[in-house]
Amino acid sequence: MTERVEILGVNVDAVTMAQAVERVINLIGENNPAIVATANAEMLLRATHDDELKNILNAASLVVPDGAGTVWAARHLGKVMPERVAGFDLVQELMKIAPARDIKFFLFGSAPSIADKAKLKAETLYPGIKIVGTRNGYFKADDEPEIISQIKNSGADILLAALGVPKQEKWLAKYKDELKIPVSIGVGGTFDVMAGVVKRAPLWMQKARLEWLFRAMLQPSRAGRLVALPKFVLKVHKQKTAKS
């Protein structure tokens, strides 16, 4: 088992990408419905005032450090956090090995047609991949039994849910046992990037840990969420001071 680092009350796994992929493969083999969470600074900050989200994250089978802020926080607290494991990249790594291991995916979420476009992109990038179903993220409570039935009967090994934080985590936790999918992962805007609707930051910005800035420049509607970053830094510093 890898070490878990407590950041603002949430236990985050100190894993490399390779370790995260291996853990997901093992979870599929265990065939016991599991949730994988991708924790960035915004999610961790939200969990400080959303106990339901915090409890879901701490009950998850794997919580990867998705974001430079999460890696920084762990290291600032004096803990080892080997690298950032971005949710988008984790999905791509899993899809890359999926054909050889016969891993099947269900894509759930995003705007109408986006999941279908992401499916086509995956089939182009990873020949032989099995995407056994798609469903957009626009639904009412009345639609949920049909959605659950569709996902449950798809035969998927991995459910990718792109409903946004914290809706995706709460939905997956609520229906995890009913869905009976070995691994469910909340993937935020992954389908949008795969579908080509949203651009990802250039590699140099990713390496410079400036992907958050690129997203804010590209989507001004996200600019308000940048306020969360200094709040996150302040809270992490307070956690460090309190423990020292």
pLDDT tens for each residue of 88-106? 999 999 999 999 999 999 9
Kindly report the average pLDDT of the chain as a whole number. 91
Predicted pLDDT at 229: 78
Predicted pLDDT at 67: 86
Q: 110: which DSSP letter? A: S
Of 222 and 45, the one with more pLDDT: 45
Contacts of 89 (CB under 8 A, 6+ apart): 17
Judged by DSSP in three states, 34 sits in strand
d(CA 132, CA 221): 33
pTM of the shown model: 0.91
Residue 231: what residue type?
A: K
Q: Confidence band (pLDDT; 50, 70, 90) for 220? A: low
Judged by DSSP in three states, 159 sits in strand
**Domain range list for the chain:** 4-238
Q: Which of 76, 89, 61 is nearest to 6 (CA)?
A: 76
Overall average pLDDT of the 168-186 stretch: 98
- The sign of the torsion formed by the CA atoms of 105, 109, 112, 115 equals negative
Query: Which element (helix H / strand E) includes 213?
Result: helix 211-218
Q: Confidence band (pLDDT; 50, 70, 90) for 243? A: confident
**At residue 115, what are phi and psi to the nearest 5 degrees?**
-60, -35
Residue 185 has pLDDT above 70, yes or no: yes
Q: 196: which DSSP letter? A: T
